[in-house]
Amino acid sequence: MTDTQKTRVAVLVGSLRADSVNRKLAELLRDEAATDVVLDIVEGLDRLPFYNEDIDGENAPAAAVAVRERVALADRVLAVTPEYNGTLPAVLNNAIDWLSRPYGAGAISGKPFAVIGTTPTPYGGKWAHEDAARSAGIAGAKVVADATVSHPAGEGDVLVDRDARAKLHDAIAKLVAFAPETTAA
């Protein structure tokens, strides 16, 4: 199977930390992806300016154009993120904001979307994941509700334990299998 025949999943990582568990998780999931799936970790979220309509449009910043192009190429979008103060990290929400415009035609519009991640707390970042799903949905993505996984670190180290990682692979499989409802013409 060639890469063009595979389902392409753009991955947005919500942590910029060099030693980020969620980035390492995204890289592991990419390396272990099914043979018919490509996980493409979208780089450059840290170079996106804060979203500002005054700088968007025909002369949008190069960093935004690059991120939009990478996501536009994908069939699906997956966020892998920790939680900051009970919600999604600003870097991820900012990326979703850039991907939501032009209104109705943003790169995330119409793409099946799922969100997963891990944090050290017993809730595993569930508020971040709920909020990321809501933000992406309002941005025009088709949220795959049963593909959200909030993994508490106390329930197994997803970086070393393949069994602990299994539900994250399942979430990606659901995202890939998701067929948006079509309406009859």
Contact positions toward ligand FMN, by CB under 6 A? 15, 17, 20-22, 82-86, 119-121, 125
ω into 102 cis (within 30 of 0) = yes
Closer by beta carbon to ligand FMN, 120 or else 154: 120
Tell which residue, 92, 114, 115, 95, has the closest CA to residue 106.
95
Toward ligand FMN, which CB reaches closer, 72 or 153?
153
Residue closer to ligand FMN by CB (options 109, 150) is 150
What H or E segment, with its residue span, contains residue 28? helix 21-31
Let me know if 107 is exposed, middle or buried by CB neighbors in 10 A (0-12, 13-18, 19+): buried
Q: Contact at 8 Å (CB) between 147 and 175?
A: yes
Nearer to ligand FMN, 4 or 85 (CB): 85
H or E element that contains 80: strand 76-80
Residue listed under structure tokens 């795959």: 144
What is the nearest approach in angstroms of ligand FMN to the Cβ of residue 155? 13
Q: To the nearest whole angstrom, how small is the minimum distance from the Cβ of residue 184 to ligand FMN?
A: 43
Report the nearest approach of ligand FMN to the CB of residue 30 (Å).
15
Q: How far is the CB of 159 from ligand FMN (least distance, A)?
A: 10
Dmax (CA) for the chain in angstroms is 50
Instruction: Supply the minimum distance, in Å, between the C-beta of residue 103 and ligand FMN.
Output: 30
* Residue (86 or 102) nearer to ligand FMN, CB: 86
